[in-house]
Chain A
Amino acid sequence: MAELQFREALRAAMTEEMERDENVYLIGEEVAEYDGAYKVSQGMLDQFGPKRIIDTPISESGFAGLSIGAAMMGLRPIVEFMTWNFTFVAFDQIVSNAAKVRYMSGGQASIPIVFRGGNGAAGQLGATHSNSVEALYSNVPGLKIIAPSNPDDAKGLLKSAIRDDNPVLFLESELMFGLRGEVSEAEDYTIPIGEARVAREGDDVTIVAHSKSYWLAMEAADELAKQGVEATVIDPRTIRPYPIDAVIESVKTTNRLVIVDESQPFGGIASEVGFQIQRECFDYLDAPVERVTAEDVPAPYAKNLIEAWMPSVDETIAAVKKTLYM
């Protein structure tokens, strides 16, 4: 094991896959000469040269679409978006082309492509720069979506995403790029897409949370333990396909579920997981499923407002206590 920052784990995954397969290239704004807006691709231009580490103008629709075409011809592009907020001007390319061309062609075309970048709120950036896009994109069949919470998962899952023959959306977080963690140094380390990780086991309640919400859930679980409440914390790691079986299995023993999801509440990830759990675990539930999400308003700027808007440890603890009638 080696201790790496999240950004270094992403870089290691991309570097290893580019060394392994010359059809893999990285394209995006500032990825080459600037060394990456968030330094994820630092040094990669020196190693791979401008043919494979490609700077773009600010044209998300253009370079997303270009890479979809290149993927149709057998290349395996990694498309870096500076943040997922900026994919809304590439929405048609991702939704109409990446997700649907295989289906509309009756299976003739395949699009092995990874779209990656920072997702979710990252401080006081205002409404346009604080979107959690997993709910939007997970509504579209034909896309895989991964949202890891730690460097080890980031490396193993990004390598799997690059090798996958389907379009994969890889959601990172600007607030987590500097997060350190132990990362496997095993040769050819990959983690299968679609498998949850049970991070903590407890009998009283199940908390499920992905990406940076996972850390809220863990902090809440530690605090609850001090109060005598033992929580199971599940990190789904993948949003599509969602590893619902792991949640079902856990809820059948704990009988209570809290979902922490930075998406906005209406039609969010928590809505879908909550629905599936009430259907699959109806007779096992001892309390209604609770959720902790962003507020149902655009993200505000002021420090106190954005803090109130975000899911929090306190809200997570309160939600758990509600399921326990505490």
Chain B
Amino acid sequence: MAGTSTKKKAPARKRAGSKANGTAAFTPDVPDVQIFRQSGHTHESLGLSPETVLDMYRNMLLQRRFEERAAQMYGRQKIAGFLHLYIGQEAVSTGAVWAIRDTDPIITAYRDHGLALARGMGANEGMAELFGKIDGCSRGKGGSMHFFDVEKHFYGGHGIVGGQIPVGVGMGFASKYKEDGGCSLTFFGDGAINQGAFHEAANLAALYDVPALIIVENNAYAMGTSVERSRGDAQLYKQGYPYGMKTAVIDGMDLFEVYGAFKQIADDARGEADGQTKPYFVEVQTYRYRGHSMSDPQKYRTKEEMEAKKNEDPIVRTRLYVLENDLATDEQLDQIDEDVKAEVMASVEFAEQSPLPDISTMYEDVFVGDVPRVQ
């Protein structure tokens, strides 16, 4: 099991009741909680080759540059509707995806670009979807909140807070039913934990021994409402215990920590060692650097808090690790960034060039097969 070392103390956010939400060490007061923080992982201890580490770094950077460019395009009114950025949370998507099997289904909420790109969706298809073009991942029918890439086992992209949680548990249920060894990953934000759908799904997952990871990405704010202002007990990790689930708490700003944790708990959920499928409740403690959406003045947090969090930037930390361990040179890392930027610029060009969906496509994809519609 990953370490529970408490020796090295990172700067804590001063916030009442935020024991589990900040980076301070803590002792859980419910049983069966595994803490994945400051485990002292190296790429070698995790069995990651230098090439894989650089691939992961590149993927996090792709998510970051993609969204920076998307924000700019939103400002130029190339992108409409809502645009929720994942910036700051990239270690969660990349670390989790690299740790699990390619066929393990993933479902998430509306802050979905990062996980889609981690799962292997092309920047072209993502950007074209944001532009509302026919070559978008959802043919221009979904938009930012509804990215889908079913071929890559990415099942959206869901716009109603908490609504995807029972669905994600059902994807794991199907794996158990078919005995295919799969494990579903259901991501949602800290706001969704207050929805009934979470509690019903968590109970069913535990009751039916579903191989499912039920993952709250605790980025500290549900839109403008902090966890402390929305919970009687702000320690979210406790929510697995009432349903009889094993629990993991993961430092989501640390790529290696996320990777190591997900590898271990996904294999345990699919019953790799004991032959018993089971769900996990997972709290990944992370932080979003941008507003909830593009129209968020962010009056609910201080500049000091955000500056302190920037020291934990998962991309910066991974870059430092790569340099300190001589996995690549500064120049090589700069080149990766240049390549990623070029890929993203090309995706903007691709999205610009892609045609608007033909009006006739509006009537497609409602049903499998031809079903008359009311005119």
**Interface of A with B (CB < 8 Å)?**
25, 51, 54, 56-57, 59, 61-75, 89, 92-93, 96-97, 101-110, 112, 141-142, 144, 164-166, 194, 241-242, 272, 276
Contact = CB atoms under 8 A, between A and B. Distances in A.
A69 B107 CA distance: 10
Interface of B: 105, 107, 136-142, 146, 148-151, 155-160, 163-175, 177-178, 184, 196-197, 200-201, 203-204, 207-208, 364-369, 371-374
Contacts of A70: 170-171, 173-174, 177
Given A70-B174, A109-B155, 17 more contacts: A57-B200, A65-B167, A65-B197, A69-B168, A73-B170, A73-B175, A75-B178, A97-B163, A104-B142, A105-B146, A105-B157, A105-B365, A106-B136, A106-B141, A106-B365, A107-B365, A141-B373
A158 B200 CA distance: 28
Contacts of B374: 242, 272, 276
A101 B159 CA distance: 11
Nearest to B170: A69
Contacts of A93: 163, 166-167, 197
Contacts of B155: 69, 72, 109
A107 B139 contact: yes
- Looking at chain B's contact residues, the main secondary structure is mixed
A106 B200 contact: no
Contacts of A59: 200, 203-204
Contacts, number: 164
A92 B165 CA distance: 12
A184 to B, nearest CB: 24
Nearest to B184: A69
Given A61-B200, A101-B156, A109-B150, A66 B170 contact: yes
Contacts of A194: 371-372
17 contacts: A54-B208, A62-B201, A64-B166, A65-B197, A67-B170, A69-B155, A69-B172, A73-B175, A75-B178, A97-B163, A105-B157, A106-B136, A106-B142, A106-B148, A108-B148, A109-B150, A141-B373
Contacts of A96: 158-160, 163
Given A104-B148, A109-B150, A166-B369, A66 B173 contact: yes
